[in-house]
Structure 1
Amino acid sequence: MGLTSKTLLAVVILLAAVSFAATVWLWPRLARRSVSAVFGRVGLLFVTQVMIFASAGLAANNSFLFYGSWADLLGQEQEMGTVIDHAVKSAASGNIARIGMQHTGVPGSMRPARAGRIDKVVIAGRKSKIDSPAYVYLPPEYFQPAFAQRKFPAVVVLTGYPGTAENLLKGLRYPQTAHERVKAGRAQPMILVMLRPTVAPPRDTECVDIKDGPQTETFFAEDLPQAVSDMYRVGTQSRNWGIMGNSTGGYCALKIGFHHPDRFAASAGLSAYYKAAEDPTTGDLFHGDQRARKRADLMWSLDHLPQPAGSFLVTTSRQGEGNYRSTQRFIGKVKAPARVSSIVLESGGHNFNTWRREIPSTLDWMSSRLSDG
């Protein structure tokens, strides 16, 4: 059974209930002071505690999708190598390969012209030499004759660290939400390119070009837009491209949008932070290069670098979010020709439930800032 399987959760909850009942039932019989009775009591308590914690952990993971599989939980990247090899051998365009499809979760999902399509792909970065799996959502209009000659706007959507791309489909429901916003007349059809910022797992590169290491910023700012435009009907101008994400993905989106306005016209950070993290998961990102460290600090960039003619959206909550004050500082530092918008909830948290409340309006905002080819 998979880590996020409802059957697994039900079985563990049942075992927790059974172990609790067994503890209550057998405790009087184990009240003696013998060694066997002591070990029996310890064993019952241990099993009951393990089952209760396992139930709570699985329930939380199913709700927030911190980990998408057992391999993800255990830090094993077994699938990654296979997918990358497939991309090298099969990429018809030289830098992207479609290796499968996923259901969109929209009614009628067997008919792309009605529900759209989700391609599972591997993007091979020509400049960065990074290969990364991703999901590409194509809206229903992409397959309809009336839009056959249209080039669609595209939005790069990033998870947090160490999230999986599946979180964007299952937990945050980006394709379904995008479909609903278009159907409601609130947004235009857009292509979504969904992946995690961890393109050199397990290292958290903070979307930085690391000296003698992963060139993550180059991958997102140059390789990815080029690869997707080569494979799909997507415009190649900055007005055709947006980038957004949550947590680490939100920081990456804002930073890449700020430093690459020639590639992205709009950037959105949901519960983002504004300075590259430096900790054991990142390793040495800058190798003593203080200029690079400052450039990765959005507050410093806003104060010391020319501000681009791009649009930025930031989200936070007055209660429950740790980035409320820094977000207000970010908003206050943005100057023309840049533009800034915000979503500020009364209460929320650094979690999927909060982001699901912000994604619909963020997609509407992104749609209003982008244009087709």
Structure 2
Amino acid sequence: MDGHGLASVIHRAAGDPVLPGDVTARARDLGPLESPLIWLSLASAAVAVLAVVVALGYRRRVRRWGCTAFGVLLLLAAVTALNSYVGYVRTSDDLARLLQRGPGAVHLAGRLLDDGREAPAPASASAPHESAGTAAAGQRIDVVDLPDPAHGIPSGSTYVILPPGYDTDPARRYPVVYLIHGYPFGGPRDWLTSGDAPGTLLALQQANVIAPMIVVSVDMTAGNPSTDWECLNVPGGPQLESYLAGTVVPAVDRRYRTLADRTHRALGGMSGGGFGALNIGLHHVGEFATLVIALPYDDLNDSVGILGGNQAAIAANTPRRYLPAMEFPAPISVMLAVGTGAPTDVTTAHRIAGELRARGQEAVVHAERGFNHTWHTARATLPYLLAFADEGFRGSPTTS
């Protein structure tokens, strides 16, 4: 057992953590609103209504109301089936926060459904340690507004998950993992809801798998979540890479008791946020020693248009092009997490890992059986990603 008392995790030679079964089972579990029973029940009800309409179709009122009910039930079945597959809305709280993004009556319905728990309110810049919300078992969740007009970033909500004991041990400093949401229509709250980062952190810490750490879910929407920004410095648009590395990281280091050096700092994300973490991490090896990426890709593909045909910018932001010849001023460790049900992700992850190893860097691919390119995979692999980050933190001397 090492200095942190972390006896419950055994590490393979390749660096892929082997975690307690209760932690991994919890991460793979479906939330109540993800159950296939919901859409199966709705689909069955739609079929039953259709049968009634067919049997009593000669009655105009039955036909009119029956067809309407059939359509509504079929739509709800389709939506809930999609959610069961993707894993975006786990609980009624998740649904409430999703509805609150909508206008008018939809927003009001979300407000009524929201019970107020784990829903932080923004903390002011002048009061950086003001509690913006309380999570279970001593965690604290702050949400910090970090506007950066110089980089084209308006007001937003970056969530900071502080570990139990943060407020009672003022001398202790913590490593930090930065997580980026997916694109488009993603947001920083997704890692708290769909990704269940607070619950995963707590489960890992209670099992003595990881030492306490700070996790920051960064707002990389630039005020427009419908745009697939890919965390880029967009010509004539928001400079998201510069914002994260040059604004968010220093702001977190100033406001919180972090271990403010590269070896105690990890960057990760899922899907589009995973691409951003890979690209930004490779551009900023001096700031991040560890990358933890779910559902990775290394090419802009359909998002290349965001760079407006600027060939130099495209080449500089396509890891598949520049990684094979990249020089590393400092070593990095990378974990790439995929679901075996998404063969393209698996191929891409192994390609990226191979290129990194060819450049002398540590790279691990973790494959989660039976999952696809969805939030289910991101949530199921998050314990491995955080444990991998912790492994790097524990192997680094404290310098601040």
Fold shared, TM-score > 0.5 on shorter chain: yes
1:1-373 map, 5 Å: 21=48, 23-25=50-52, 27-31=54-58, 37=60, 41=63, 44-58=66-80, 60-61=82-83, 64-65=87-88, 68-70=97-99, 72=101, 90-92=124-126, 101-104=132-135, 106=136, 108=137, 115-125=138-148, 127-130=150-153, 131-145=155-169, 148-161=170-183, 162-201=185-224, 202-279=226-303, 284-308=305-329, 309-334=331-356, 335-370=358-393, 371=396, 373=400
Q: What amino acid is aligned across from residue 310 of structure 1 in structure 2?
A: I
Give 1:120 shift. 1.8
Aligned equivalents of 2:52, 2:309: Cα separation in 1: 63
Aligned equivalents of 2:317, 2:103: Cα separation in 1: 30
- Runs of 5+ unmatched residues, structure 1: 79-85, 109-114
- Residues 76-113 of structure 1: CA distance to partner in whole angstroms, max 9, x if unpaired? xx9xxxxxxx98x94217xxx67862332x3x4xxxxx
Give 1:289 shift. 2.4
Instruction: Look up the SS of the partner of 1:269 in the other structure.
Output: strand
Q: Which moved more, 1:149-158 or 1:128-137?
A: 128-137
Instruction: Look up the SS of the partner of 2:389 in the other structure.
Output: helix
Larger RCO: 1 or 2 (CA < 8 Å, sep 6+) = 2
User: Is the 1:243–1:268 contact (alpha carbons within 8 Å) kept by the matching residues of 2?
Assistant: yes
Moved over 4 A (4+): 10-23, 97-100
From the superposition, tell whether residues 74 and 330 of structure 1 become closer, same or farther in structure 2 (CA, over 3 Å).
farther
From the superposition, tell whether residues 221 and 184 of structure 1 become closer, same or farther in structure 2 (CA, over 3 Å).
same
Aligned equivalents of 1:22, 1:189: Cα separation in 2: 53
Q: Which moved more, 1:13-22 or 1:354-363?
A: 13-22
Instruction: Look up the SS of the partner of 1:366 in the other structure.
Output: helix
Aligned equivalents of 2:289, 2:76: Cα separation in 1: 44
From the superposition, tell whether residues 22 and 364 of structure 1 become closer, same or farther in structure 2 (CA, over 3 Å).
closer
Q: How much identity, in percent, do the aligned residues show?
A: 23
- Runs of 5+ unmatched residues, structure 2: 1-30, 90-94, 108-120
- Residues 268-293 of structure 1: CA distance to partner in whole angstroms, max 9, x if unpaired? 110111112444xx7x4323321210
User: Is the 2:174–2:212 contact (alpha carbons within 8 Å) kept by the matching residues of 1?
Assistant: yes
Aligned equivalents of 2:243, 2:159: Cα separation in 1: 16
User: Is the 1:138–1:191 contact (alpha carbons within 8 Å) kept by the matching residues of 2?
Assistant: yes
Aligned equivalents of 1:260, 1:326: Cα separation in 2: 22
Instruction: Look up the SS of the partner of 1:170 in the other structure.
Output: coil
Q: TM-score, normalised by structure 2?
A: 0.74
What RMSD in Å do the two structures reach over aligned CA positions?
3.6
Give 1:336 shift. 4.1
Aligned equivalents of 1:310, 1:14: Cα separation in 2: 49
From the superposition, tell whether residues 65 and 319 of structure 1 become closer, same or farther in structure 2 (CA, over 3 Å).
closer
Give 1:238 shift. 1.1
User: Is the 1:200–1:214 contact (alpha carbons within 8 Å) kept by the matching residues of 2?
Assistant: no
From the superposition, tell whether residues 12 and 244 of structure 1 become closer, same or farther in structure 2 (CA, over 3 Å).
closer
Aligned equivalents of 2:39, 2:359: Cα separation in 1: 55
Q: TM-score, normalised by structure 1?
A: 0.78
Equivalent residue pairs, number = 340
